[in-house]
């Protein structure tokens, strides 16, 4: 997959002590083929106009949400060239390619053995975002020829009701994958529910047996969780080497951070996990050749946290208020795109980066499941 180039320049950046980044002024110099030399300069008369931060508390990482992190406004902009900075890793396009590949495989399977893969989705409660994701999953299934089955339950349903539906799908031969849309209402025990999915149909890869196998050398999980699998797939499709690289995963959630770290380790990266109790996260992040950020904290990772030439995979999909947009908000990642894209060698955008890969990997896991169950190669 070819990388899309962005325009760039020589830029002075400066971060003030009120931002979660260092206070060094730097000259970032890019050339056409490689990234590039970074020289530290002192610029005494330089002032940065920082974004207006909104204070809220979130997951212990920081209490400041940066809604804008434009370094261009703060750039003293000695723009001496127009060369390139980070390449854009286009998850939307890769996801489309993957859907096309899956559609071909599904046709081949149907013609050879008459089996069509089936995916069952259980949605509990009225969260708008979850309803959108489930709708998009159904659309994606339709587009590749996977049969989809949906159960919608009220917010007030019991854990037992959810587990009963899972049990029925476990026993249904036309269903090859089962997923319960997360998060569940707070009165339910997520572990009890996820444990009820039989591991042969656990296309989300959240069953503890699948996660346990992922963590162990010499063991193979039946399924890998979709979002982390999508991150690694992007690196592979863009020929970004992982072996021997220093990787930092920001966030340690069961559904993204932790499995992403395990996957990177399986690919022979040297992996660190940065979390809400990590001291000096910037210092650790700055050592990384590959950063996967999954904390849900808008623009937390500033340009100054990024080693020149690093590859950035942004899993965060954070709404921030934007009166100029029709929805009244826009989506931003955990990584301050505008700043970081001037330092990194490659970066995923938000939206259009990892998000579409999550659903593509779900389709891929469902096909994999149907092939395994019916011993079709």
| Per-residue tokens: 128 | 């708008």
Closest by CA position to 336, among listed 250, 233, 276:
250
Q: How far is CA 202 from CA 137, 314, 360, in A?
A: 16, 25, 16
Please identify which residue in the block is written with the tokens 């396009």. Answer: 93
| Per-residue tokens: 52 | 């207006």
* 239 tagged catalytic: no
Closest separation in Å from C-beta 68 to ligand LMY7XDAE: 19
Closest separation in Å from C-beta 226 to ligand LMY7XDAE: 5
Cβ-contact 376, 370 below 8 angstroms:
yes
User: Which of the residues 36, 90, 137, 307 is marked catalytic?
Assistant: 137
User: Which of the residues 90, 202, 204, 334 is marked catalytic?
Assistant: 204
Cβ-contact 72, 339 below 8 angstroms:
no
In the bound state with ligand LMY7XDAE, the residue whose beta carbon lies nearer, of 128 and 217, is 128
Cα Rg, the chain, nearest whole Å: 22
In the bound state with ligand LMY7XDAE, the residue whose beta carbon lies nearer, of 9 and 358, is 358
In the bound state with ligand LMY7XDAE, the residue whose beta carbon lies nearer, of 29 and 178, is 178
Closest separation in Å from C-beta 140 to ligand LMY7XDAE: 9
Contacts of residue 24, Cβ cutoff 8 Å, sequence gap at least 6: 14, 15, 40, 304
Ranked by CB distance to ligand LMY7XDAE, the top (closest) residue is 355
In the bound state with ligand LMY7XDAE, the residue whose beta carbon lies nearer, of 28 and 166, is 166
> Alpha-carbon distance 106 to 125, whole Å?
32
- Which stretches does DSSP call E strand in 8-162? 11-14, 25-29, 37-40, 53-58, 62-66, 87-88, 118-124, 147-153
* 204 tagged catalytic: yes
- Interacting residues with ligand LMY7XDAE (CB under 6 A): 133, 179-182, 204, 226-227, 317, 331, 350-352, 355-356, 358-359
Closest separation in Å from C-beta 362 to ligand LMY7XDAE: 7
* 191 tagged catalytic: no
User: Which of the residues 36, 181, 314, 371 is marked catalytic?
Assistant: 181
> Alpha-carbon distance 28 to 192, whole Å?
51
User: E strand or H helix at 250, and its extent?
Assistant: strand 246-250
Closest separation in Å from C-beta 188 to ligand LMY7XDAE: 13
Cβ-contact 260, 357 below 8 angstroms:
no
Closest separation in Å from C-beta 129 to ligand LMY7XDAE: 7
In the bound state with ligand LMY7XDAE, the residue whose beta carbon lies nearer, of 147 and 254, is 254
In the bound state with ligand LMY7XDAE, the residue whose beta carbon lies nearer, of 204 and 289, is 204
Catalytically annotated residues: 137, 181, 204
């Amino acid at each position: 997959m070819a990388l899309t180039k962005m325009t760039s320049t020589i830029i002075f950046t400066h971060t003030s002590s009120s931002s979660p980044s260092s206070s060094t002024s730097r000259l970032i110099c890019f050339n056409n083929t490689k990234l590039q030399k970074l020289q530290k300069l002192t610029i005494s008369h330089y002032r940065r106009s920082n974004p207006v931060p909104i204070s809220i508390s979130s997951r212990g990482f920081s209490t400041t949400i940066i809604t804008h992190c434009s370094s261009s406004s703060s750039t003293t902009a000695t723009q001496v060239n127009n060369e390139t900075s980070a390449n854009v890793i286009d998850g939307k396009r890769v996801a489309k390619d993957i859907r096309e590949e899956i559609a071909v495989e599904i046709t081949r399977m149907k013609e050879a053995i008459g089996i069509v893969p089936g995916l069952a989705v259980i949605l509990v409660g009225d969260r708008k975002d979850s309803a959108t994701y489930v709708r998009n999953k159904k659309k994606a299934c339709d587009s590749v020829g996977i049969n989809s089955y949906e159960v919608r339950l009220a917010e007030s349903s019991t854990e037992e009701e959810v587990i009963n539906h899972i049990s029925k799908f476990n026993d249904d031969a036309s269903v090859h994958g089962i997923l319960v849309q997360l998060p569940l209402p707070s009165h339910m025990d997520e572990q009890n529910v996820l444990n009820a999915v039989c591991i042969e149909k656990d296309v989300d890869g959240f069953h503890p047996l699948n996660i346990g196998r992922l963590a162990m050398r010499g063991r193979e999980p039946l399924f890998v969780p979709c979002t982390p699998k999508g991150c690694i797939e992007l690196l592979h499709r863009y020929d970004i080497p992982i072996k021997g690289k220093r990787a930092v995963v920001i966030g340690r959630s069961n559904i993204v951070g932790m499995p992403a770290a395990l996957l990177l380790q399986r690919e022979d990266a040297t992996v660190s996990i940065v979390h809400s109790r990590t001291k000096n996260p910037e210092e650790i992040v700055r050592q990384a050749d590959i950063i996967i950020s999954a904390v849900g904290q808008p623009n937390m990772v500033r340009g100054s946290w990024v080693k020149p030439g690093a590859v950035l995979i942004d899993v965060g999909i954070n709404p921030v208020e934007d009166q100029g947009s029709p929805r009244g908000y826009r989506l931003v990642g955990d990584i301050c795109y505008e700043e970081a894209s001037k330092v990194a060698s490659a970066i995923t955008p938000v939206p259009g980066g990892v998000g579409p890969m999550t659903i593509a990997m779900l389709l891929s896991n469902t096909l994999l499941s149907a092939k395994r169950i019916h011993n079709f190669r």
